[in-house]
A and B are shown apart, each in its own frame.
Chain A
Amino acid sequence: MPVEITMPALSPTMEEGTLSKWLVKEGDEVAAGDVIAEIETDKATMEVEAVDEGTIGKIVVEEGTQNVKVNSVIAVLLEEGESADDIDSDASQSKSQEQSSDDASAEKSDDGEAAQEQKDSEESGPSEEEKPSVPAQPAFNAEEDMEVPEGTEMVSTSVREALRDAMAEEMRADGDVFVMGEEVAEYQGAYKVTQGLLQEFGAKRVVDTPITEHGFAGLGVGAAFAGLKPIVEFMTFNFAMQAIDQIINSAAKTRYMSGGQMSSPIVFRGPNGPAARVGAQHSQDFSAWYAHVPGLIVVSPYTAADAKGLLKSAIRNPNPVVFLENELLYGQSFDVPKLDDWTVPLGKAKVVRKGADVTLVSHSMGMRYATEATEKLVESGIDVELIDLRTLRPLDMPTIVESVKKTGRCVTVEEGWPQGSIGSDIAARLMDEAFDYLDAPVARVTGKDVPLPYAANLEKLALPSTKEVIEAVNAVTYRQI
């Protein structure tokens, strides 16, 4: 029976890719391990190897085709004795194929990406469950946005490109800014965030480090003490656990301990939070950890415009900034204002949608759930005010308090664990600052109190969901469902 060759998932976040080149043509004999095609993922150009031997019976997807969905059939392989007539005409039927696994595992497993996000988990969840791809740009955003001058051209940009542009612009402006980390230079970034920087700025300013998080974080802080402005990239913040002593004990505390004499103008950045199917050690949200520490500025953007504007501000800021990105958002595109110097102030939350009934507060990936929930809640008649925190320290309590004075209700959404969470802190501070305005207890939607499981269904259960956000809003507004 002919074997279907399907578009492989060559990175955990890959949902589609470009079939850039076929290295075989119809009628060619191939053996297992032969490179048959090149595919461009969201990360890199990858080779696809044949798993079985046989003859290429049909090329279903021509080279150069973009946005080829993972698991769609790209070619059909004939085994011995078969002919093209044996090819089932309905070749588009999806079928799981392990084509990709060899290529994927050839990469350093730590560089991160696992299977497609939440793709084939059981429908254990509710009907409101989000689709794998949530609309990135909330439709209700534009008229509220006072930060962008009227008439500014908006350019659709991925978070990945926005971060890269921010670094490149600041490096052009200031020779003391340099970037260091694992695979940031020649490899072009484990997640391609530093793509092109080596070519523009050279090896002096784009520095590949050995795999020594503790050592290079400390080295970066020392360089900052001496007046440079390092951007230290962690391949993920999970690995920054090795370096957290330098981040907190050296970077965050030195200004205070020196009576204001010394500061560390450094940015620690990289992906934070659960990715997709990468297991417990690679899936942790450190928002609350860093937000706990005086002396640090902690940023965690959702949109590409904020990613760019906040990273530029972070690089210019004379304090140590922990800049928490999200791997699953890297490939997501948002409108970014086309301005020579687009910055977003640190410490300022953004009211994404104005509303009167309930305040939803979130950041980073949590904004995905909050955004989708808002759309559904608005449809069902609840006037949601949605706030994207953007900066976690200093926390913009005035914006939250002002909102809660109006709505009387608050639901927080984050991927981190519940105990000692960002939401816990907001709840406590709302009791301090807006107790008389609250008409219901503050509700928190968080990741579950477990290490993140690998199995797709369990992983989905462990993370917050749109359904949970809606349920929490229903609870604080005392609605019967």
Chain B
Amino acid sequence: MPKKTDAAAKSSTKANMPAFTKEEELHAYKEMLLIRRFEEKAGQMYGMGLIGGFCHLYIGQEAVVTGVHMASKKGDYSITGYRDHGHMLIVGLEPKAVMAELTGRKGGLSRGKGGSMHMFSSEERFYGGNGIVGAQVSLGTGLAFAAKYKEEDNVSLTYLGDGAANQGQVYESFNMAKLWSLPVVYIIENNKYAMGTSLERSAATTDLSQRGASFDIPGEQVDGMDVRMVRDAAERAIKHARDGKGPYILEMLTYRYRGHSMSDPAKYRSKDEVQSMRTERDPIEQVKARLLENDWATEDELKSIDKDVRAVVSEAADFATNDPEPDPDELYTDITVEV
């Protein structure tokens, strides 16, 4: 079989399959691997008692933020719920600072006062990290309102889960977003379980991409395990929003390998289900296979990438372990802006 060396040739092998260039595949690989290794380390550190409270890992869902980010541009807003580590890493926040926030240290992104679910960056226009299921949808709609008010060319990337999709304020927001034609893309990360309750057991209609139908918001279901499909759909959706046509819904069909949080044994699903996703659909393995198949990278080169990523994560973990806790004085700072 002749080697496919360019994207166009590759896309012809499977009808309508959006293709990545070598650089894009490598970029996606590195980004997803960073999130994967970071989350694995966070899980370990939780087990060691270095991370407390709630810790919701993103393992399995890496393709979603990676593909969406590839379709966005600098200046676009993003906001999500509590499963937020991947969203922060993808917009370029320092792994050290994210990890140090997980351990509640001085050098954390929120100086140790936010924790796993509460990190923000004005600079990268990342608005959390929100612990109340669904709250980020109204907030994200407000980010889009501001973008439109300020006549910016930016969109709001508002992530929510399949659980949040049943919250009332989501529909209040859909209504206003469509009514006012706000530049917002709602990205529903459907990982099949709202904590322990499967979509089938919690949703009267399970095609979440159509949840905007009564507001005439277009939506589509996307293979959220394939970063190419994610980017392709995100490009359509973001263009729609950026062109002033209003909101768009993307339902990303994805899967989380771990439990809802570190304390969740995930007994509501079978080991086989998890295993088949891991072996057949893994977003990173998919990219890896294509890189190898196209001779865009060798096993050794990929190992070397993995090694670099592990080094970054390991450095972040060391920092987060050794950085001091916040000064006791920090207790009373940042409550209000002193005028």
Contact = CB atoms under 8 A, between A and B. Distances in A.
A317 B127 CA distance: 21
Interface in B110-126: 110-115, 118-122, 125
Interface string A202-238: 0010000110101111111111111110000000000
Contact of A318 (B131, B140, B173, B337): B337
Contacts of A216: 138, 172, 176
A245 B169 CA distance: 11
Contacts of A227: 146, 150
A406 interface: no
A223 B172 contact: no
A209 B176 CA distance: 8
Interface string A263-290: 1000000000000000000000000000
Given A219-B141, A225-B127, A262-B120, A319 B173 contact: no
A209 B142 CA distance: 13
A256 interface: yes
A250 B130 contact: yes
A263 B77 contact: no
B138 A261 contact: no
B276 interface: no
A222 to B, nearest CB: 2
B175 A215 contact: yes
B336 A295 contact: yes
A259 B114 contact: yes
Q: Which of B132, B156, B176, B333 has the most CB of A within 10 A?
A: B176
B334 interface: yes
A255 B336 contact: yes
Given A215-B138, A245-B135, A260 B145 contact: no
Nearest to B118: A257
B339 A318 contact: yes
A261 B122 contact: yes
Contact of A246 (B118, B120, B135, B175): B135
B108 interface: yes
Which of A212, A221, A258, A346 has the most chain B CB within a 10 Å cutoff? A258
Contact of B120 (A217, A254, A297): A254
Interface size class of A (residues with CB under 8 A): 35 or more
Contact of B142 (A224, A317, A319): A224
Contact of A255 (B131, B137, B150, B334): B334
A258 B172 contact: no
Nearest to B123: A261
B335 A210 contact: no
Nearest to B146: A226
A294 interface: yes
Contacts of A228: 145-146, 149-150
A249 interface: yes
A178 interface: yes
Nearest to B339: A317
B230 interface: no
A209 B173 CA distance: 11
A222 B146 CA distance: 8
Given A214-B138, A257-B113, A260-B111, A219 B127 contact: no
A212 B333 CA distance: 34
B188 interface: no
Nearest to A393: B336
A261 B172 contact: no
Give the one of B122, B130, B168, B336 with max A CB within 10 A: B336
B111 A259 contact: yes
A259 B101 CA distance: 10
A246 B138 contact: yes
Nearest to B147: A226
Contacts of A295: 335-336
A223 B143 contact: yes
A259 B113 contact: yes
B164 interface: no
A249 B145 contact: no
A218 B173 contact: yes
Nearest to A214: B169
Nearest to A255: B334
Contact of A225 (B111, B113, B139, B333): B139
Contacts of B121: 261
Contact of A222 (B113, B131, B138, B168): B138
Contact of A256 (B137, B334, B339): B334
- B119, B121, B139 interface centre (most CB from chain A within 10 Å): B139
B334 A218 contact: no
Nearest to A209: B176
Nearest to B174: A215
B67 interface: no
Given A222-B142, A226-B143, A318-B339, 4 more contacts: A212-B176, A220-B142, A222-B144, A256-B335
Nearest first, the 9 closest Cβ-Cβ pairs linking A and B are A222-B142, A218-B138, A215-B172, A226-B146, A259-B111, A212-B172, A222-B139, A257-B118, A259-B110
13 contacts: A210-B175, A215-B173, A218-B142, A227-B146, A228-B146, A254-B128, A255-B337, A258-B118, A258-B334, A260-B111, A261-B122, A294-B336, A317-B339
